[in-house]
Homo-oligomer: A and B are copies of this chain.
């Protein structure tokens, strides 16, 4: 490429760099990104770039597939109730090892490799994600409401972002494993989308980005042409009520709505497997995936 064209490309990013300077952007890593080494590496480099041109980046990561795989290795069958992982003591130990240990540090190493400075912690550290056991209720086929014991599955009670704020304020990129802690010092497994949304709210983030393995919110999940580029909060709620949005997408949209209710400006649901998807979403004119905004 010619030198002058290089300059042109960079300068076209200037307004976006200015807009997001010093702003907090919370990125939920997931959607199969973490299983693909090259993809993750590329993604983390993009994140380091955004951090280095002035944005405050916080990463929350999931790790469901790795945990399930590890369970199967150990001869244990993963069990889910409506998408929530039933978490007995042994499973929790695996979560500590896989989420707070293996995956968390893998992301940290990937960021540091590209010249970023990541610090990996979990919600247990410094008690920063206070949680309590989720009292999960469901309705039996006979219409009776019953409580199902999901084990050590938690619900966010309160987030104290002091340490996280210190870290982003001094240029670090916090990488957070979604495990909370209760008042007695027990760890609890929490949905990563929810942790990302709650933390985005607690930090008054400007943007929450949820990476998935689909193009965004689609009217017909099998037809990418039905992708909805922009949704207002009201429209998003309506899509859920009318049943247009289904299954796995529902909790993601609900996480976005929670974040926006907490003051986050915009939420994005993007396909993490598209190369440079975050970089392009933030630094170029063309939007990708689905953006949820406050609406008029």
Contact = CB atoms under 8 A, between A and B. Distances in A.
Interface stretch (A96-104, A235-243, A252-260): A96-104
Contacts of A15: 115
Contacts of A49: 10-11, 14, 17
Contacts of A120: 100, 121-122, 124-125
Interface stretch (A25-33, A218-226, A280-288): A280-288
A52 B14 contact: yes
A294 interface: no
A9 B9 contact: yes
Size category, A interface: 35 or more
Contacts of A124: 105, 108-109, 112, 120
A65 interface: no
A163 B109 contact: no
Contact of A163 (B48, B97, B172): B172
Contacts of A284: 3, 6
A125 B119 contact: yes
Contacts of A21: 52
A96 B117 CA distance: 18
A119 B21 CA distance: 20
A5 B186 CA distance: 29
A279 interface: yes
A99 B108 CA distance: 15
Contact of A52 (B17, B48, B99, B121): B17
A166 interface: yes
Contact of A9 (B1, B98, B184): B1
A108 B93 contact: no
Contact of A115 (B18, B115, B181): B18
B18 A112 contact: no
The 7 closest A-B pairs by CB, nearest first: A101-B101, A113-B185, A7-B276, A97-B97, A97-B101, A9-B9, A119-B125
Given A100-B120, A119-B163, A126-B172, 7 more contacts: A6-B12, A10-B13, A11-B45, A14-B48, A21-B52, A118-B125, A162-B170
5 contacts: A18-B52, A100-B105, A119-B125, A120-B122, A126-B172
